[in-house]
Structures are given as structure tokens and as C-alpha cells.
Amino acid sequence: MKEFSVGKNDGGARLDRFVSKCVPLLPPSLAQKYIRLGRIKVGGRKAPRDTRLAPGDTVQMYVNDEFFSEAREDAAYLRVTDPGLDIVYEDANILLVNKPAGVLCHSGGGFDYATLIARIQAYLYARREWNPRGENSFAPALCNRIDRNTQGIVIAAKTAETLRIVNEKIKTREIDKYYLAVAEGEPRPKSGELRGYLFKDAVKNMVFVSDEPRRGAQLAVTEYKTLASKSGLSLLECRLHTGRTHQIRAQLAHIGCPILGDGKYGSEKSRRKYGESGQLLCSYKLTFSFRSDAGALGYLNGKTCALGSVGFADKYFPGISYSSVTVFPEFDTVI
């Protein structure tokens, strides 16, 4: 028998999900069976699988030893010697990191110590802000992700409460996300809204845009403004109203202004001409615009966090003060 204490970050977790993270090698069907049979108890008593655990509870597991693994000791974060994070903002609850282009947010499978989440966990582990031995089901996690070859701000939660709140605020569109992009051509009009229906081709790992609703397609809405144009290129600021896969890349290509360097939706000829190997797209600014209670994160309401410099913007449009450009002036406080 092994006993686990429920800590602050495990509070509110369902029993079955708590078990799945404490004993990852235990098959879900067997875990459900053990809960039904009372081989997994809460406070020494049989409990249903949807029991919400509270800090201070103890969970007893009468589970064979072979299902318990020390896999955490082989976790990717332990192999990171230098996290190399570009931290944009940090407090006791949240971490905003500028992810470089070329870095994965999460591993596609197995351990990958080059991923952003591994670096973040290594950073917090080294600072003793996170002790995996003292946590049963929680680990610092990313609240959003961006494409491998897209640079920009990613939100990481240091606590389970923060993770729940931010995930809910992203779902209800109470965190505004702004992107900078260098696009080919000049959008007409210079400012406006792109509205279309995106459907995914899983084989090609691409999305396609339809102007009319169609079965299986999801509505995508992007607001954009042209900040500058010259020599056949434009610097755009885009605000997401929905969060679809490859949304900005596909929609700009659909109107004839693909992002420079985009290997999926852009021009190979332009990529070679300018020597760009990845899309010039950056999630450079976000605003916390809570319309409902944000609990422990209420102090962030109305705050904006922005990158002071974006390399490709400075390269193609030197002198354009994009970081101080306020397209939506109701949120202009910089953290």
C-alpha cells in the first residue's frame, strides 16, 4: 500500500484524475476498477471516482508495486542544465516567457529536454519554487501554445489554481492576444476583420479557408491593422478573436498576403529571395481583460504585457515603434 497526501495544488482534483497522474503506468480501466472495489480509498474510506479532493486529504492505494514508477526522476526537466528563458513577466502565480522560433512548446512524444515546458520546469525546480517530490498530480504547465516556428509570449502556470483560472479565461476570450507579422503585399483595406471558416486537412497538416460555412469547418475571426508598408511588404498587427490552428497564417494567405517565410501557406520564391526559413510571425502582446471574477489573478485585470523588440520587425521596418502602438486603446497599461 502506498499513501499520498493531497497538497494545495492537488486540491479540487477528481480522485480518478489524481490517481492517473500519481500512477501513470496504471491502465485507466484498472484504475476505475480499483476505485470501485475500494482498493483506492480517500481517508481510509471507499470513495467514488468523481470525489473532489481537498488539501490535507490522504489517498491510500492498494496497487501492485510494478505500477509505481520512478519515471519522474527521468523527466526532461532534470536534463536541462541551462533553461535559457527569456522571461517577460513573472510573479508568484504566473510566468510569461518569450518562446524563440524553432522551439516546441511540448514534446511530440517521449522526453524532449529542448521543449519550452521542460525548460520552464527546470527553471522553477532550480529556484525551488516547484518540488516534484512534494506534488502528486500537479506540475507547472503551459496555458497556451504557439507553433514551433512562431516566436512569442507563452503563459505558464506555477500553481494549479492559476492553471484553472487562465484556461477558463482563454476559453471565454478574456485574454486578448496580439501578433506582429511581416506579410507580402498590402492588405485592402489597410485595417479590418478577416472572417472565414477553417477546415483541416489532417494528412497535409494544413488548414484551408472557406468564405461560406461548410460541414466540419470552424469560424475564425482575426482583426488586423497595417502599421507600415514598403517594398512590397507590410508590417501587420493582428488580434485574435478565435484561436484556430494556423489561423493568422491561413487567413492572410487567403487574402493574398501570406506571411513572409511561411513554408506552408507562403511563397517559396519569396522565402528564397529574402533568405527566411520560417514564418515572420510573433505573439508579441497580450492583455488581461477579465469580465468576470479572476480569483487569485484579479490583480492582472487591465494589464498588458508586450515584447519591447521583435527582431524581424526591426529588420524590415526599422524605426516603427510597434510596441507603443495601441490599436485597442482601452487596454494600454504595460506591466
Both 213 and 307 in one domain: the answer is yes
Domain end (from 144, 170, 196): 170
Helix 28-37 vs helix 15-22: crossing angle, to nearest 10: 130
Both 208 and 92 in one domain: the answer is no
323 band by pLDDT with thresholds 50, 70 and 90: low
Both 239 and 270 in one domain: the answer is yes
List the catalytic residue out of 16, 65, 82, 147.
Answer: 147
| Containing structural domain, residue 95 | 72-170
- Average confidence (pLDDT) over 62-76: 65
pLDDT at site 266: 94
Domain count, the chain: 3
pLDDT digits (tens, 9 = 90+) for 118-144: 999 999 999 999 887 777 678 899 999
Q: What is the DSSP letter of 73?
A: G
Both 56 and 181 in one domain: the answer is no
Q: Is 50 a catalytic residue?
A: no
pLDDT digits (tens, 9 = 90+) for 201-213: 888 889 999 999 9
Domain end (from 45, 69, 93): 69
Residue at grid coordinates 505558464: 156
Q: Are 55 and 11 spatial neighbours (Cβ–Cβ below 8 Å)? A: yes
24 band by pLDDT with thresholds 50, 70 and 90: confident
Both 212 and 288 in one domain: the answer is yes
What is the side-by-side order of every strand in the sheet holding 45-46?
2-5, 58-61, 40-42, 45-46
Domain end (from 69, 93, 118): 69
Both 318 and 217 in one domain: the answer is yes
- Which residues make Cβ contacts (< 8 Å) with residue 117, sequence separation at least 6? 105, 106, 140, 141, 142, 156
pLDDT digits (tens, 9 = 90+) for 250-274: 999 999 999 999 999 999 999 999 9
Residue at grid coordinates 489532417: 202
Q: What is the mean pLDDT of the chain?
A: 89
Both 100 and 11 in one domain: the answer is no
Both 297 and 180 in one domain: the answer is yes
| 199 pLDDT more than 90 | yes
pLDDT at site 8: 84
Both 38 and 78 in one domain: the answer is no
What percent of the chain shows pLDDT beyond 70?
91
- Average confidence (pLDDT) over 5-16: 88
Write out the three cell numbers for 24.
501513470
Both 245 and 120 in one domain: the answer is no
Both 209 and 269 in one domain: the answer is yes
25 band by pLDDT with thresholds 50, 70 and 90: confident
Domain CATH number, residue 37 = 3.10.290.10
Domain CATH number, residue 226 = 3.30.2350.10
Both 329 and 180 in one domain: the answer is yes
